[in-house]
Structure 1
Amino acid sequence: MPASTPVAHSKTAALARVLDAIPKGYCRYTQGNVSASKAESLARKFHLRYGIGCTPAQRVTRRKRGMANALLVMYWPEGCQQVEWLMLATDGQGMDGEKLLDIADKPGMAWLGYELVRRPDRGRTAWTWRRPASEMAEHYALIAEFGNKHHTNSLGSLLQRLANQPGFHGVREQSKRLFEEARRRGHAGDLPHLFYVQKVSHGEWLRLG
């Protein structure tokens, strides 16, 4: 099987891959951005150094040897000239060339405009994404302004934009609170449906060999 790594064209796909990787032990990270013209060469460099395109069997072998496993999450929208990337790694040797942070460090990991946070889930700890506090404050302020001025259409459009954001647990809970605030401010229209993030493809596969 040729070495490859998925390239996400949507924020939902990129952020979902991070959440899928954390329970598998990928608890350290580093991030950055690169021009689209250099993104493929960066991915190949990371594969040569850290094996980000290794097969599951190769990852088992690396783990047994005490080596860290790594994967690369790339957010590369169609036609975008800048690619955001996040490399996740397990515990182990071989990542000395990177300054890695732990996902549990404070302040928490932030990527693509969202914050990674813990949440309880049936007696265990899970992870989710949420909007930063500064963005939430802006949404509350807009809801108050539109509600006080009876700008019904503007408020409805704002609520729809909120509903269109990735439906991770943390984002959905924030959206519910914002919708409750809109009701408190007198919004009488229908509230948009909040969708859960379903199992999504991690992206289009980029050959590294």
Structure 2
Amino acid sequence: MPISTPIARSKTSALARVLDAIPKGYTRTTQGAVKPAKALALIRKFHELYGIGCTPGQRLVRKAAGKANCLLVIYWPEGAVSVEWLMLATPGTGIEAERLQPVDGTPRAHWLGYELVRRPNERGNASWTWRRPKAEMAEHHALIAELSNQHHQNALAALLQRIAHQPGFNGVRTQGRELFNEAVRRGHKSEELPMLFWLTKPTHGERYLIPS
């Protein structure tokens, strides 16, 4: 199996990979950003240091030796002026040089404009999800109130459409329904609400083969 790591071109793919990794034991994180010209060198460096592109078999060997396993999540959209990265690690040695934070620590982890939380999902089970930060929700509530009071229906409809098209994680969808209910409470017609975006299983991104 080739040594590789995915590069996500969409926020949804990048954020979804984080949620997929946490239940597998990747419960510590660190993050940063680099210029696009330095992104591939960063990937290669993190593989040399922490094995972020290791195969499943290599990860088992590392775990047996007490070493941490690491994943590197890269968000690199077309035309980006900055490449955002987040590295996740399992318990173990070999990554002491990085300042790692637990995913369930305080303050909550934030990445790409979203907050990581653990909450009941739509099946009633507790799971990790992303949601909008409180400050963003307060801004949306204020905008809905202002546009409703001023009867700016076209602007309000455009705002609700943007809300509907944000990544459809459980936490984001729950907040979307809350905002839609607020708009209806203030007079917006429920039949004119847009359809909330529903998340289908995304790929983790385009595979980048790490030179050996």
Which residue of structure 1 lines up, in the alignment, with residue 28 of structure 2?
28
Structure 1 residues without counterparts, runs of 5 or longer: none
Counterpart of 2:150 in structure 1: which amino acid? K
Which residue of structure 1 lines up, in the alignment, with residue 17 of structure 2?
17
Number of aligned positions between the proteins: 209
Question: For each residue in 1:121-147, what CA deviation from the matched residue of structure 2 results, as whole angstroms up to 9, or x when unmatched?
Answer: 466531000000000000000000110
Q: Does 1:113 align with 2:151?
A: no
- Percent identity of paired positions between Structure 1 and Structure 2: 62
Deviation at 1:2, TM superposition (A): 2.2
- CA RMSD, aligned part only? 1.1
Q: Distance in 2 between matches of 1:18 and 1:72?
A: 9
Question: For each residue in 1:141-182, what CA deviation from the matched residue of structure 2 results, as whole angstroms up to 9, or x when unmatched?
Answer: 000011011111110000000001000000000000000000
Q: Distance in 2 between matches of 1:64 and 1:125?
A: 29
Which residue of structure 1 lines up, in the alignment, with residue 198 of structure 2?
196
Which residue of structure 1 lines up, in the alignment, with residue 207 of structure 2?
205
Q: Distance in 2 between matches of 1:159 and 1:171?
A: 13
- Determine helix, strand or coil for the equivalent of 1:17: helix
Which residue of structure 2 lines up, in the alignment, with residue 186 of structure 1?
187
Q: Distance in 2 between matches of 1:190 and 1:131?
A: 23
TM-score by length of 2: 0.96
Counterpart of 1:117 in structure 2: which amino acid? V
Q: Does 1:44 align with 2:44?
A: yes
Counterpart of 1:151 in structure 2: which amino acid? H
Q: Does 1:103 align with 2:103?
A: yes
Deviation at 1:208, TM superposition (A): 1.0
Counterpart of 1:136 in structure 2: which amino acid? M
Q: Does 1:158 align with 2:163?
A: no
Q: Distance in 2 between matches of 1:184 and 1:57?
A: 55
Q: Distance in 2 between matches of 1:9 and 1:120?
A: 28
Q: Residues 126-137 of structure 1 correspond to what in structure 2 (within 5 A)?
A: 126-137=127-138
Question: For each residue in 1:83-142, what CA deviation from the matched residue of structure 2 results, as whole angstroms up to 9, or x when unmatched?
Answer: 000000000111111111100110010000000001124665310000000000000000
Q: Distance in 2 between matches of 1:186 and 1:120?
A: 30
Q: Distance in 2 between matches of 1:70 and 1:35?
A: 22
Q: Distance in 1 between matches of 2:73 and 2:164?
A: 25
TM-score by length of 1: 0.97
Deviation at 1:195, TM superposition (A): 2.5
Q: Distance in 2 between matches of 1:199 and 1:76?
A: 19
- Determine helix, strand or coil for the equivalent of 1:22: helix
Q: Distance in 1 between matches of 2:25 and 2:15?
A: 16
Question: For each residue in 1:58-84, what CA deviation from the matched residue of structure 2 results, as whole angstroms up to 9, or x when unmatched?
Answer: 111111111110000000001112100
Which residue of structure 2 lines up, in the alignment, with residue 71 of structure 1?
71
- Determine helix, strand or coil for the equivalent of 2:7: strand
- Determine helix, strand or coil for the equivalent of 1:61: helix
Q: Distance in 1 between matches of 2:192 and 2:16?
A: 29
Q: Distance in 2 between matches of 1:123 and 1:140?
A: 27
The answer (yes or no) to whether the contact 2:166–2:197 under 8 Å persists in 1 is no
Deviation at 1:190, TM superposition (A): 1.1
Counterpart of 2:132 in structure 1: which amino acid? R
Q: Distance in 2 between matches of 1:172 and 1:154?
A: 21
